[in-house]
């Protein structure tokens, strides 16, 4: 038996049933392009089910990465401290309405996204789990499966990397999210837009970190000038 699944003439996925004693019902799938769009799937070689195990119509099949970085004339340790305080993140990422650390488990935080698109306001949230950081090098996190609101269950992950420079540091942000294979061409087209947004976020972080470092240095100078009695 074979089945074909199309996405507006962009891709066709043909699955040929091949039962085996160990894995009955396993299907080998071939992805072909009809519009000159190359498609590569992280689930290549397996059936793309019509109904995914998470209850949605399409299974998640591709991770898309978006990255931006900035040079900051601020000590690396200061930049690290600012990003480590997750609840500060909305100060330079305005599309993130809030990041709330869970009191019962500080390794978890609820991220709330708020945006105005298609003539209406959208807001949804998800839980993210902090992964073990590498001090002054990397902070990273991953979404908790099944934790999203509004019935949206898009797996995502992110990381911040820090590289020491003379007089400051380089800070790079990577955000990745998983999309159904059939939507990958559309999501790919949005990548420049997403990277433009997080690029602006990183510039805002640079401004925030610079102002924070100056205020911190000024406070220390004032304390040193206070005469001792």
**What tens-digit pLDDT sequence spans the chain (229 residues)?**
434 333 333 333 333 434 444 444 433 333 333 333 333 333 333 333 333 444 444 455 678 889 999 999 999 999 999 999 999 999 999 999 999 999 999 999 999 988 776 677 878 889 999 999 999 999 999 998 877 766 666 788 999 999 999 999 999 999 998 877 766 776 677 777 788 899 999 999 999 999 999 998 887 777 766 566 5
Q: What are the boundaries of each domain within the chain?
A: 1-48, 60-220
Q: Give domain 60-220's CATH architecture.
A: 2-Layer Sandwich (3.30)
What sign does the dihedral 142-147-148-154 (CA atoms) show? positive
Instruction: Name the pTM for this structure.
Output: 0.67
DSSP string, the chain: -EEEEESTTSEEEEEEE---SSSTT-EEEEEEESSS-----TTTTS---SS-TTSSSS-EEEEEEEEEEEEESS-HHHHHHHHHSGGGGGGT-TTEEEEEEETTEEEEEEEEEEEEETTEEEEEEEEEEEPPPBTTTEEEEEEPTT--STT----EEEEEEEEEETTEEEEEEEEEEEEEGGGHHHHHHHHHHHHHHHHHHHHHHHHHHHHHHHHHHHHHHHHHHSPP-
176 near 200, Cβ under 8 Å?
no
Two tokens, residue 224: 């040193």
């Amino acid at each position: 038996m074979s089945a074909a699944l199309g996405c507006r003439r962009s891709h066709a996925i043909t699955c040929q049933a091949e039962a085996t004693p160990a894995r009955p019902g396993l299907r080998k799938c071939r992805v072909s392009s009809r519009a000159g769009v190359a498609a590569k799937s992280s689930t290549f070689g397996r059936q793309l089910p019509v109904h995914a195990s998470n209850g949605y119509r399409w299974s998640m099949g591709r991770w898309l990465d978006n990255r931006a970085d900035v040079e900051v004339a601020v000590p690396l340790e200061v930049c690290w401290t600012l990003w480590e305080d997750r609840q500060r993140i909305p100060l330079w990422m305005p599309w993130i309405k809030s990041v709330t650390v869970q009191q019962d488990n500080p390794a978890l935080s609820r991220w709330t996204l708020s945006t105005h698109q298609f003539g209406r306001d959208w807001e949804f949230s998800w839980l993210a789990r902090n992964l073990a950081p590498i001090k002054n090098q990397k902070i990273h996190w991953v979404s908790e499966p099944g934790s999203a609101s509004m019935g949206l269950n898009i797996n995502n992950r992110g990381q911040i990397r820090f590289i020491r420079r003379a007089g400051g540091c380089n800070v790079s942000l990577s955000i990745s999210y998983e999309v159904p294979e059939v939507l990958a061409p559309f999501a790919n087209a949005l990548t420049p837009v997403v990277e433009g947004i997080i690029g602006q976020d990183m510039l805002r972080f640079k401004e925030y970190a610079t102002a924070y470092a100056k205020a911190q240095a000024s406070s220390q100078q004032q304390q040193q000038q206070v005469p001792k009695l």
